[in-house]
């Protein structure tokens, strides 16, 4: 690890929590260069919903490369791209009655968000974007301006503007419907909130601490934005592609966003790819008005097309419901058994355990790592232990991971009590 310490920037972070050098990975498991394997409850921050190097997708990718399929072509037409577009329309959009046009920006989440913000501003002719407290939308200048984390924001080095943060559901306690505030600000021309181009949100704030919006709240937000002619952008980069149990995280709410951003698990294999979906009437782009070198990365189209087969019939979605139940009930059982001052929240296969003592999740994560489990923390003070297992993980593997969590938590608490004594 000397090489990294000597030559890689101090900005490196996850490697500090999981201090080993990884070599290979398969399914739910990562293996380091010493041959030790770790069960992965992190899934590359939501990139690996189908697990590491899934065989069916891998085969498609290697076949494509072996045949000298075109690798890089900017936004020129390619067979791989056409296949993906066709299949995405057939498997995902049409069955859900969703009419959207597709744009492939630079292949990262923040590029998709920047694209969505630009488009919303262009179409409405307004500058302001409303985002929510504790939102995370990316680290380039436009996306960072709609991100809540003060430490990350300060890294901009310039004031972040043309945005306004309003409280996410539950931010002001259970008694207050935070949308009352947004509704009032939009309705009142004296509020100081210039009518915004759009509201952008994650239906489950993952980095922000696994904060889960209710379906009612989402529906009301859609109503409010529609009433004021404000676009609604759902950033489904982390919790789309099945993470909440359906392909899109907002399906259960029955709402129709104006713009949707996808990335992370879209390629299904960890290859960079991003997609912006927009209502057809919003597609006011001029050719080349927004671009990017790696927009439309063909190997990623190949893997993404293969990954769509998970959604071609109902079994995968059904399996997620069962796993949701398993994780949810077990986490609550752990809380109860260990008598933890903590609450459990989540949807599908994204779950958070929010501890009153913000020191605990970090310690538990470290103990889990020692016990062979990779799991991360979230929230502004890292006060949430965040479970993000791959969706393809077997129930046995899930249980195994939950066992490690229980054991590690018990051990951390025990040693904490000792320290206190």
- Chain positions 316 to 375 lying near its own copies, rule: CB under 8 A, are none
Among the candidate windows 102-110, 220-228, 310-318, 336-344, which touches its own copies by CB under 8 A?
102-110
Q: Smallest gap, in angstroms, from Cβ of residue 361 to its own copies?
A: 15
Q: Are 232 and 222 in contact (CB under 8 A)?
A: yes
Based on the shown chain and the rule CB under 8 A, indicate whether residue 36 belongs to the binding site for its own copies: no
Q: What's the sign of the alpha-carbon dihedral 215, 220, 225, 227?
A: positive
Task: Show the tokens assigned to 403.
Answer: 């066992």
Of residues 232 through 271, those in contact with its own copies by CB under 8 A are 237, 263-264, 269-271
Q: Smallest gap, in angstroms, from Cβ of residue 295 to its own copies?
A: 9
- Of 341, 406, 395, 338, the C-alpha closest to 368 is 406
Q: Do β-strands 231-235 and 259-262 pair in parallel, antiparallel, or remain unpaired?
A: parallel
Judged by beta carbon, residue 3 or residue 421, the one nearer its own copies is 3
**SS3 for 166?**
strand
Q: Binding residue for its own copies (CB under 8 A) from 60, 117, 201, 350? A: 117
Q: Smallest gap, in angstroms, from Cβ of residue 133 to its own copies?
A: 5
Taking the CB of residue 1, how many other CB atoms lie within 10 A of it?
A: 10
Q: How far apart are CA 266 and CA 303, in angstroms?
A: 9
- What's phi and psi for 168, nearest 5 deg? -70, 165
Count of residues that interact with its own copies, criterion CB under 8 A: 151
Judged by beta carbon, residue 104 or residue 250, the one nearer its own copies is 104
Judged by beta carbon, residue 48 or residue 307, the one nearer its own copies is 48
Query: Which pairs from 290-294 meet CB under 8 Å and 24+ separation?
Result: 290/103, 290/105, 290/115, 290/118, 290/119, 291/74, 291/75, 292/105, 292/106, 292/107, 292/111, 293/74, 293/106, 294/72, 294/106, 294/107
Judged by beta carbon, residue 20 or residue 416, the one nearer its own copies is 20
Q: Are 287 and 356 in contact (CB under 8 A)?
A: no
Q: Smallest gap, in angstroms, from Cβ of residue 379 to its own copies?
A: 8
Based on the shown chain and the rule CB under 8 A, indicate whether residue 37 belongs to the binding site for its own copies: no
Q: Do β-strands 384-387 and 350-355 pair in parallel, antiparallel, or remain unpaired?
A: antiparallel
Judged by beta carbon, residue 94 or residue 318, the one nearer its own copies is 94
**If residue 407 lies in a helix (H) or strand (E), which one and from where to where?**
helix 395-420
Q: Smallest gap, in angstroms, from Cβ of residue 368 to its own copies?
A: 15
Q: How far apart are CA 368 and CA 366, in angstroms?
A: 5
To the nearest 10°, the Cα dihedral for 204, 207, 209, 215? -10
Judged by beta carbon, residue 16 or residue 418, the one nearer its own copies is 16
Judged by beta carbon, residue 38 or residue 330, the one nearer its own copies is 38
Based on the shown chain and the rule CB under 8 A, indicate whether residue 101 belongs to the binding site for its own copies: yes
Of residues 174 through 203, those in contact with its own copies by CB under 8 A are 176, 180-181, 184-185, 188-195, 197
Based on the shown chain and the rule CB under 8 A, indicate whether residue 220 belongs to the binding site for its own copies: no
Read off the DSSP letter of residue 234. E
Angle at 267 between CA 262 and CA 270, to 5 degrees: 110
Q: Are 263 and 274 in contact (CB under 8 A)?
A: yes
Among the candidate windows 218-226, 336-344, 349-357, 377-385, which touches its own copies by CB under 8 A?
377-385
Task: Show the tokens assigned to 339.
Answer: 């008598």
Q: Binding residue for its own copies (CB under 8 A) from 11, 34, 419, 420? A: 11
Q: Smallest gap, in angstroms, from Cβ of residue 265 to its own copies?
A: 10
Based on the shown chain and the rule CB under 8 A, indicate whether residue 227 belongs to the binding site for its own copies: no
Classify the phi-psi angles of 157: left when phi > 0, otherwise alpha if psi is within -120 to 50, otherwise beta: left
Q: Binding residue for its own copies (CB under 8 A) from 41, 50, 52, 243? A: 52
- Of 255, 140, 174, 177, the C-alpha closest to 236 is 255
Site map 120..159 versus its own copies, x via CB under 8 A = xxx----xx--xxxxx--xxxxxx-xxxxxxxxxxxxxxx
Of residues 58 through 87, those in contact with its own copies by CB under 8 A are 58, 61-62, 65-79, 81-82, 85-86
Judged by beta carbon, residue 79 or residue 321, the one nearer its own copies is 79
Judged by beta carbon, residue 286 or residue 420, the one nearer its own copies is 286
Q: Smallest gap, in angstroms, from Cβ of residue 328 to its own copies?
A: 25
Based on the shown chain and the rule CB under 8 A, indicate whether residue 281 belongs to the binding site for its own copies: no
Judged by beta carbon, residue 109 or residue 257, the one nearer its own copies is 109
Q: Are 83 and 305 in contact (CB under 8 A)?
A: yes
């Amino acid at each position: 690890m000397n090489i990294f310490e000597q030559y890689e920037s101090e900005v490196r972070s996850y490697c500090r929590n999981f201090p080993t050098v990884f070599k290979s990975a398969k399914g739910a498991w990562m293996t380091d260069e010493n041959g030790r394997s770790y069960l992965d409850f992190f899934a590359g921050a939501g990139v690996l919903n189908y697990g590491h190097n899934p065989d069916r997708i891998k085969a498609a990718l290697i076949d494509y490369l072996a045949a000298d399929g075109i690798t890089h072509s900017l936004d020129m037409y390619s067979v791989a791209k056409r296949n993906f577009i066709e299949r995405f329309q057939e498997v995902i959009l049409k069955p859900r009655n969703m009419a959207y046009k597709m744009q492939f920006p630079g292949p990262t989440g923040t590029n998709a968000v920047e694209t969505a913000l630009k488009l919303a501003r262009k179409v409405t002719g307004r500058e302001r974007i409303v985002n929510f407290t504790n939102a995370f939308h990316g680290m380039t200048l436009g996306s960072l301006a709609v991100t809540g984390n003060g430490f990350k924001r300060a890294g901009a080095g310039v004031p972040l503007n043309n945005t306004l943060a309003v409280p996410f559901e539950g931010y002001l306690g259970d008694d207050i419907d935070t949308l009352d505030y947004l509704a009032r600000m939009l309705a009142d021309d004296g509020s100081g909130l210039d009518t915004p181009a759009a509201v952008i949100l994650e239906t489950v704030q993952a980095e922000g601490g696994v904060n889960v919006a209710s379906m009612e709240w989402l529906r009301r937000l859609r109503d409010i934005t529609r009433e004021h002619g404000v676009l609604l952008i759902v950033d489904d980069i982390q919790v789309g592609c099945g993470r909440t149990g359906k392909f899109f995280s907002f399906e259960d709410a029955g709402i129709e966003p104006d713009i949707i951003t996808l990335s992370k698990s879209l390629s299904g294999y960890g290859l960079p790819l991003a997609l912006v979906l927009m209502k057809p009437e919003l597609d006011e782009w001029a050719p080349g008005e927004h671009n990017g070198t790696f927009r439309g990365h063909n190997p990623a189209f190949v893997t993404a097309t293969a990954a769509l087969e998970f959604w071609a019939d109902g079994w995968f979605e059904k399996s997620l419901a069962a796993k949701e139940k398993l994780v949810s009930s077990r986490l609550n059982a752990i809380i109860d058994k260990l008598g933890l001052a903590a609450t459990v929240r989540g949807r599908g296969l994204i779950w958070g355990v929010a501890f009153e003592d913000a020191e605990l999740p970090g310690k538990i994560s470290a103990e889990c790592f020692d016990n062979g489990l990779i799991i991360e923390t979230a929230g502004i003070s890292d006060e949430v232990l965040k479970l993000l297992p791959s969706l393809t993980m077997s129930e046995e593997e899930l249980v195994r991971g939950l066992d490690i969590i229980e054991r590690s938590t018990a051990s951390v608490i025990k040693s904490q009590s000792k320290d206190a004594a």
